[in-house]
Amino acid sequence: DQQVKQNSPSLSVQEGRISILNCDYTNSMFDYFLWYKKYPAEGPTFLISISSIKDKNEDGRFTVFLNKSAKHLSLHIVPSQPGDSAVYFCAASAYTGNQFYFGTGTSLTVIP
């Protein structure tokens, strides 16, 4: 039972353009969401988070949007850079829980 879904396994974007990575979830108890970036042979690295009391959080080139009614979040990267090429995982947690539920990841390729 996949509670967090990333329906796009891969995405290619030209350098300088916007990358939009999407994530859907099914559990209405989820109230904290994170994005992780993973390079080959490395562990996931925390990128940005958002709690359910917000609908947007920004950190430099990275912005996460949360639409609670649609149970959808997205990560925007502007402008995209070749170093952003990695697998991106979204993860969700419930306030009362202690585990994160991860999506299956989206492999982003930024073409120079």
Partner 1 sequence: ETGVTQSPTHLIKTRGQQVTLRCSSQSGHNTVSWYQQALGQGPQFIFQYYREEENGRGNFPPRFSGLQFPNYSSELNVNALELDDSALYLCASSLSIANYGYTFGSGTRLTVV
**How does strand 72-77 pair with strand 19-25?**
antiparallel
> What is the nearest approach in angstroms of partner 1 to the Cβ of residue 83?
19
Query: Residue holding tokens 């997205």?
Result: 74
Per CB under 8 A, contacts with partner 1 among 4-63 are: 4, 6, 32, 34, 36, 41-46, 49
Strands (E), the chain: 4-5, 10-14, 19-25, 30-38, 45-51, 56-59, 62-67, 72-77, 86-94, 101-102, 106-111
Measured from the CB atom, is 69 or 96 closer to partner 1?
96
Measured from the CB atom, is 63 or 89 closer to partner 1?
89
Distances (CA, A) of 59 to 5, 25, 28, 63, 106: 23, 23, 26, 6, 20
Choices 12-20, 52-60, 67-75, 98-106 (CB under 8 A): range interacting with partner 1: 98-106
| Contact status: 99 vs partner 1 (CB under 8 A) | yes
Measured from the CB atom, is 57 or 104 closer to partner 1?
104
| Contact status: 105 vs partner 1 (CB under 8 A) | yes
> What is the nearest approach in angstroms of partner 1 to the Cβ of residue 9?
8
